Structure 1
Amino acid sequence: MSGGYYDIDAILTDAQKIPCTFNISVPGLGYLESPTLRDLSTGTTVLLPLWMASQIILARIRNTTLLEFDVPQALSPRVINALKADPRSVDLRALATHFYGLGIKTLELLSDEEQMCDVLANSFKIRAREVSDHAHNPRGALGEGADFLRGLDEMERQSE
């Protein structure tokens, strides 16, 4: 994923929705939570596209961050623990089509997630070896490795 202007994978990664909690009330944005609400109140959690959330997080009013974002479900502690145990057993595609792109963007927004960074990097290395093995041994890809190959995220599929 090069991240260029016309890179479809970067666009699709940025379009993934993440849970965000507003630290202020915002008049006229209640429709983000429900079509019948007029205003968005403090403490409300809504799903926003990653590109929008990252821009709002950077904005401040009177030294107040407008919103906090919660770690996406695809990067929850449960998933991170599963990746620590055996990265090859996790169906990344079911979690997020652009799983590693989401991980990279999430890590850019977090300041103290060194453990998540290490787990994602290690998972990518282990899974890359598995992808390479399947590329050189197609018989495994047709049998027991088929489930693993179906669970590859877009970045892994492009490296095949």
Structure 2
Amino acid sequence: MSYYDIDSILTDAQKVPCTFELDVPSLGYLDNNPGHTLKSSTRVDLPLWLAEMLAVSGASSKTLVTLDLPPSLAPRVMNALKADPKSVDIRALAQHFYGLGARILELFEEEEVCDVLMESWRVRAAEISDHASNAGQGQRGGGGVGAGDGVEFLRGLDEGERGLFRAQHDSSKAMRVWMGEVKKG
């Protein structure tokens, strides 16, 4: 991604839980204690870009902060995604859910989280493609998702999934127009 990519910037701005490993003078305001020392073992939510910098920097053998997995990638969420990826409102967890997951996986070696995110993207992408291809064509027949379920699913898309929906919808629309011109010609 580009340095100027707004989605990357917004992903890096998402807050992640951190635990301070050292006492830091004059940073008590991060823990609602202005002007005081931020004590070690204090948990604070920091933007990802700052948390990463503090976690990897350290002149001594001890780092300033320890990063924890964000709540949007907690075991409870991973279990829900394993059970049924289409039923999880990913947008409520994080607007840039998959971007956050990719950035966190750069910092942590979590094979299971990686596998769950990849599988949920695959399943959800197929569902997104189905909804985008059939948007505006009325109710689908057969065993498809009802209109209410489809609306709820589409509301729960993160920004990357919304981009996929737009691209699929636009290409399906262009294909219908092209097919109409071929039949006329």
Question: What TM-score do you get using the length of structure 1 for normalisation?
Answer: 0.93
Point out the more displaced range, 86-95 or 66-75: 66-75
The answer to whether structure 1 residue 95 and structure 2 residue 88 are counterparts is no
SS in 1 for 2:46: strand
Quick one: distance in 2 between partners of 1:41 and 1:147?
A: 43
SS of 1:159's equivalent in the other structure is: helix
Deviations 1:83-111 (A, max 9, x none): 00000000000110000011011111113
DSSP 3-state at the match of 2:54: helix
SS in structure 2 at match of 1:71: coil
Q: Offset at 1:19?
A: 0.8
Match of 2:52 in 1: 54
Instruction: Identify the residue that residue 81 of structure 1 maps to in structure 2.
Output: 79
Rg larger in structure: 2
Q: Does 1:149 align with 2:147?
A: no
Question: Aligned equivalents of 1:154 and 1:38: distance in 2?
Answer: 39
1:135 aligns with 2:132: yes
Paired AA for residue 56 in structure 1:
L
* CA separation of 1:66 and 1:126: change in aligned 2, threshold 3 A: same
For residues 17 and 113 of structure 2, the distance between their equivalents in structure 1, rounded to whole angstroms, comes to: 18
Match of 2:10 in 1: 12
Q: Among residues 124, 133, 153, which one is paired with 2:121 in the alignment?
A: 124
Cα-Cα RMSD = 1.4
Q: Secondary structure at the match of 1:41?
A: coil
- In the other structure, the counterpart of 2:66 is 68
Q: 2:23, 2:38 within 8 Å by CA — same for their partners in 1?
A: yes
Rounded Cα–Cα distance in structure 1 between residues aligned with 2:77 and 2:32? 29
Instruction: Name the aligned partner's letter for residue 23 of structure 1.
Output: E
Unmatched runs of 5 consecutive residues or more in structure 2 = 140-144, 166-185
d(CA) in 2 for partners of 1:56, 1:79: 26
Distance change in 2, residues 1:130/1:86 (3 Å):
same
How many aligned residue pairs are there? 157
Letter of the 1:116 counterpart: V
- Please report how far the alpha carbon of residue 36 of structure 1 lies from its aligned counterpart in structure 2 after TM superposition: 3.0
Task: Note the C-alpha offset of 1:38.
Answer: 1.2
Alignment TM-score, normalising by the size of structure 2: 0.81
| Partner AA of 2:163 in structure 1 | Q
CA distance in 1, matches of 2:11, 2:60: 31
Q: Flag the structure with more relative contact order, 1 or 2, with Cα contacts below 8 A and sequence separation at least 6.
A: 1
User: Offset of 1:20 from its aligned partner?
Assistant: 0.2
